Structure 1
Amino acid sequence: MRAAAGRKTNPDIAVAAMRAAGLEPLEPYVTSMTAWRCRCTACGNEVSPTLMKIRAGGGCKFCATHGIDLSGPSKVYVITHREWQAVKIGIGACTGYTSRLIQHERQGWQLHQAREYATGAAAYDVEQAVLGRLRQAGLTPFLTSDIMPNGWTETCSAARVTAAEVWAMVDEETRNATEPYAPRVGDRPRTAVLIDAEAAAVEMRACGYEPLVPYPGRTNATWPSRCMTCGHEGRPTFNAVRNAGQRCRICRAKETQAKRAATNAPKADEIMRAAGLEPLEPYPGSHTPWRCRCKTCGRETNPTYSNVNSGSRGCRFCALDSATHERASTELRAAGFEPLEPYPGRTTDHWSCRCSCGNEVATRLSSVRSGTTGCKKCPRSGGRTDPAAAAAEARAAGFEPLEPYPGKAPTDGAAAAGATRTSRSP
């Protein structure tokens, strides 16, 4: 229980708070900001935390699961940096890929000397004693946090003190140490976060996810779940959902698209109307077909805003890219074909019809429009040139036809000699 502001905490309540944190007081309580000598009931070491730190979630520094391991083996080391002309003292377990000493070596520091201690607490006492002597002489810190973010306060100028002199201080303080610490037996404890499976599922549902399998047991493990908004199945982690507010990626993408569409809608409406199209529904996006009515022909068409904005004609009927059945049939009959079935819907689809010569063919409206395909069994095949026009063209070139127009233009000199017999006009 926390006392009201301006009132002193009851000593009995303070003792109860310390005991709840696993600490047995060894002296009377003074204030919440005063170091209070206690003994840890777990490891047996003496510590001196304040009541305020205990209320904030602190405890025995030897049993802590983070920071320097005061109950495990450690080292005191002295390192030097030739480029920066600096000397540094530090402590650490110095094991593993992420150890502090290895991190320093990556930055160009070189090890001068190191000594192992049974506990990190003993190493810490030696380091602090040496740092106290250096600070009293005005030798620290030498580097700034911009140059060395981690450990800059324990650096000295190599021009004022050498690594050998700093290590001599380490030797002296080690000999003067008279209070050993009991090393811990076994591995360092780890923080265990126990989550109730049912409570975790309730929290996931509150965040918009329906779990598909039971809680995986770890907050950072993927948890197959279904989005309760769009139904998409994903694999978020419980930690990301509860702490970072992770939401369904499909819902996020739709929201982003909707915001972008709302921003671009006024400009899109203006451009479509300038192209002669009247939108019949809200702006769906730049690449989605947009139902509109052509102001020229009055038909409904579905262009995309992207195509219209890039300069293409919006109405496919006015652009002759498409046609109604009546219009397509009229064009086909004008070319000499009678439709045998309804217009297939696209200009590139095959369309069964009968040529004026009686032959049934399967042509395309696009081919009829280009004039490149017709009936191969009648004189209109190829370019479908009129025989009279062909004869007149031959006479204009100085040739008199000796037979009817065969219906196919020659491709080379040999074919011309045998395809059409003409006489040179005198």
Structure 2
Amino acid sequence: MRAAAGRKTDPDIAVAAMRAAGLEPLEPYATSVTAWRCRCTTCGNEVSPTLMKIRAGGGCKFCATHGIDLSGPSKVYVITHQEWKAVKIGIGACTGYTSRLIQHERQGWQLHQARDYTTGAAAYDVEQAVLGHLHQAGLIPFLTSDIMPNGWTETCSAARITAAEVWAMVDEETRSAEKPYAPRTGGRPRAAVLIDAEAAAAEMRACGYEPLVPYPGRTNATWPSRCMTCGHEGRPTFNAVRNAGQRCRVCRAKETQAKRAATNAPKAQETMRAAGLQPLEPYPGSQTPWRCRCTTCGRETSPTYSNVNSGSKGCRFCALNSATDERASAEVRAAGFEPLEPYPGRTTDRWRCRCSCGNEVMTRLSSVRSGTTGCKKCPRSGGRTDPATAAAEARAAGFEPLEPYPGKTTDRWRCRCRCSTAITLTLTSIRGGRTACGTCSRGATR
């Protein structure tokens, strides 16, 4: 029952409201927004809520089923963040997967020091006293809610106060505490609706999850479980699985891919057949190799639908990206090599062969196809400059070749200068304007 607007609440009505909430007043009623010292009839602790909070649904802070457990074990911690150059003080039970301290560590905070207390109330008093000193000194808050949504009001600048100095305040407030709070016997009170742990586990299994740890105690707490279909380990909440039908994200992704593949399969098969490939298995997806048979050469090949659809040739054998042992051997023999071992399987693999000059070399089918012999003892063929043309250019510059043209313009070539000095040079230097050796140049200088 609430008083009419503009009128003060009757003290008898206020006392009745507090007793209905399980609180026995220890002093006369003042106003609805004034802290009212009472004793909880459930746990026996003294608390000082306001009548306004009681009317809004509040009660004894020690018997609360949410927030910090003031009657259970807790700790005060001081943490630092190097990147943000910040120091923070906080309290909490710091246990379980939803621990606030663990959440801070995931954001880059590092623990400086922590102390355990028998009750959360004792830890809360110490924290509030330290925060009061920091607030009076104008040190808090330092970070904003945009940077740190949870706990930004308890942060300080590390440039103005160190973690050790904050911890010294914690030590001082702990020593000056008036009296310890009595811890609660037994577990923390639960909400009105309790969930049986075995029934919750059975319900999770019925939804396709095998719990890896016991029921965490709350429907909205993460519950590490393993998907009974694909084996993926996740952390769904019991509330999401029970009410929203949340399923394994890996299974959902696979189902989405399967639906997409079923929709695109007719078009993909038509595209592959148009490229001369007959699929030998169902459409696996655009990026997965698809086993097909080439209708031109009859060989099996495994291109991806993405590559074929973008215009590339589907059959690697017809595109000369690969070859059989007979075809590869015939190609290297035509280039003057005799294979000394079977074809390794890919055009870029090193292949031990013997050159027509008798030299044993390691070449590649791709090199043979590009015109490079790979034999250093033989004049290189397939270059852009003909050996006769190269010799004519050397003679025109005043150099007489003493050996055949090596094949590349950057290869060193032994020649004789017009002054009869034997030198080594490159066709590139001749084309760059070289017409004399070092001996001729020094003589011209003198």
The question of whether the paired residues in 2 share the 8 Å contact of 1:341 and 1:351 is answered with yes
Cα distance, 1:413–1:202 mapped onto 2, change above 3 Å: same
Secondary structure, counterpart of 1:217 in structure 2 = coil
Residue 270 of structure 2 corresponds to residue 253 of structure 1: no
Secondary structure, counterpart of 1:272 in structure 2 = helix
Q: Which residue of 1 aligns with 2:356?
A: 356
Q: Which residue of 2 aligns with 1:413?
A: 430
Q: Which residue of 2 aligns with 1:307?
A: 307
Q: Superposition pairs for residues 15-414 of structure 1, below 5 Å?
A: 74=32, 118-119=51-52, 191-379=191-379, 381=380, 383=382, 390-391=387-388, 405-409=404-408, 410-413=427-430
Report the AA paired with residue 349 of structure 1: D
Cα distance, 1:365–1:72 mapped onto 2, change above 3 Å: farther
d(CA) in 1 for partners of 2:52, 2:31: 5
d(CA) in 2 for partners of 1:121, 1:342: 89
Which structure has the larger Rg over C-alpha atoms?
A: 1
Cα distance, 1:262–1:371 mapped onto 2, change above 3 Å: same
d(CA) in 2 for partners of 1:246, 1:255: 14
Deviations 1:57-99 (A, max 9, x none): xxxxx769xxxxxx99756xxxxxxxxxxxxxxxxxxxxxxxx
The question of whether the paired residues in 2 share the 8 Å contact of 1:284 and 1:290 is answered with yes
The question of whether the paired residues in 1 share the 8 Å contact of 2:226 and 2:234 is answered with yes
The question of whether the paired residues in 1 share the 8 Å contact of 2:387 and 2:407 is answered with no
The question of whether the paired residues in 2 share the 8 Å contact of 1:208 and 1:228 is answered with yes
d(CA) in 2 for partners of 1:313, 1:339: 29
The question of whether the paired residues in 2 share the 8 Å contact of 1:72 and 1:120 is answered with no
Cα distance, 1:366–1:72 mapped onto 2, change above 3 Å: farther
Deviations 1:197-246 (A, max 9, x none): 11011000000001111111111111111111111111111111111111
Give 5+ residue unaligned stretches, structure 2: 1-14, 23-28, 34-49, 57-188, 409-426, 438-446
Root mean square deviation, CA, Å: 4.0
More displaced 10-residue stretch of structure 1: 319-328 or 365-374:
365-374
d(CA) in 2 for partners of 1:396, 1:229: 76
d(CA) in 1 for partners of 2:264, 2:232: 27
Give the C-alpha shift of residue 366 in structure 1.
Answer: 0.8
Between Structure 1 and Structure 2, how many residues are aligned? 250
Cα distance, 1:357–1:295 mapped onto 2, change above 3 Å: same
Cα distance, 1:120–1:301 mapped onto 2, change above 3 Å: closer
Give the C-alpha shift of residue 249 in structure 1.
Answer: 0.7
Cα distance, 1:202–1:121 mapped onto 2, change above 3 Å: closer
The question of whether the paired residues in 2 share the 8 Å contact of 1:285 and 1:305 is answered with yes
The question of whether the paired residues in 2 share the 8 Å contact of 1:240 and 1:246 is answered with yes
Deviations 1:355-406 (A, max 9, x none): 1111111111111111134200122x253799xx74489789998x987743
d(CA) in 1 for partners of 2:324, 2:271: 26
Q: Which residue of 2 aligns with 1:87?
A: none
Secondary structure, counterpart of 1:203 in structure 2 = helix
Give the C-alpha shift of residue 411 in structure 1.
Answer: 2.2
- TM-score under structure 2 normalisation? 0.49
Q: Which residue of 1 aligns with 2:62?
A: none
The question of whether the paired residues in 1 share the 8 Å contact of 2:394 and 2:430 is answered with no
More displaced 10-residue stretch of structure 1: 346-355 or 191-200:
191-200
d(CA) in 1 for partners of 2:54, 2:350: 89
Give the C-alpha shift of residue 325 in structure 1.
Answer: 1.1
The question of whether the paired residues in 2 share the 8 Å contact of 1:72 and 1:118 is answered with no
The question of whether the paired residues in 2 share the 8 Å contact of 1:344 and 1:350 is answered with yes
The question of whether the paired residues in 2 share the 8 Å contact of 1:384 and 1:407 is answered with no
d(CA) in 2 for partners of 1:361, 1:118: 96
Secondary structure, counterpart of 2:428 in structure 1 = coil
The question of whether the paired residues in 2 share the 8 Å contact of 1:207 and 1:241 is answered with yes
Report the AA paired with residue 217 of structure 2: G
The question of whether the paired residues in 1 share the 8 Å contact of 2:362 and 2:374 is answered with no
- The percentage of counterpart residues that share the same residue type is 74
d(CA) in 1 for partners of 2:274, 2:31: 79
Give the C-alpha shift of residue 413 in structure 1.
Answer: 0.7
d(CA) in 1 for partners of 2:51, 2:231: 57
Report the AA paired with residue 363 of structure 1: T
